[in-house]
Structure 1
Amino acid sequence: MTQQLTIRDEDFELARDIAGRLGTSLDDAVAKALHDLDRRTGPDRGLDFAQQAELDALRALVAEARPHIVPGAQNDHGWLYDWNGMPA
Structure 2
Amino acid sequence: MKYWLYESISNILDWTCATIPVGHVDLLKDPKPSNGGDFKPLSSLDRDNWNLYSPELYSDAPICLQVSGQKFTEEKVLACLRVIEA
- TM-score, normalised via structure 1 length: 0.21
- TM-score, normalised via structure 2 length: 0.21
Structure with greater proportional helix content: 1
Structure of higher CA gyration radius: 1
Structure with greater proportional strand content: 2
Larger RCO (CA within 8 A; separation ≥ 6): 2
